[in-house]
Amino acid sequence: MNRKLILLGACAAIAAYVVLQIAPTGGTPAAQAPENKAIVSIQMPDIQGNAVIGEKVFQNACISCHGPNGTGVDGAGPPLIHKIYEPGHHADEAFQRAVANGVRSHHWSFGDMPPIEGLTRGDVKMVLAYIRTIQRANGIN
């Protein structure tokens, strides 16, 4: 199973949990994301529909490892806007399993991703809508 897809799923799960549990009481805003340099540069599309919910979840739960808009954080976590995570290589279910079960490091040297508690499959689905929207805007189909 692809670890990156699992890692993305885990981040999605964390983000949803944070949005539902922490954000209303002052969760971590995206502005507090690590200052480390992004691993990849991207073009941001307009975010609409379920991706808007996914963006909020991502910003609250995944940004510390995967960086703003999934561009990765040098020394912390891989970019999700990368061809390794294209749907044909890491299907949505791989992300779901990563969140639920964790994943051993295999594409990057950031270490293993632990399972993420508190996020539902629906939460992860919203984060995937966000990540897939950005991927498509950057030629990752």
Three-state DSSP state, 66 = helix
Q: Choose the CATH number for 3-137 among 1.10.760, 3.40.50, 2.40.30, 1.10.30.
A: 1.10.760
CB 61 within 8 A of CB 99: no
Q: Across residues 26-34, what is the average pLDDT?
A: 37
pLDDT tens by residue, 52-96: 999 999 888 788 888 999 999 988 889 999 999 999 999 999 999
Q: Across residues 6-28, what is the average pLDDT?
A: 42
> Can you give the residue ranges of every domain in the chain?
3-137
> pTM, whole model, 2 decimals?
0.74
- Give residue 41's pLDDT: 96
Q: Across residues 26-50, what is the average pLDDT?
A: 72
CA atoms of 21 and 38, how far apart (whole Å): 27
Q: How far is residue 116 CA from its own chain's centroid?
A: 12
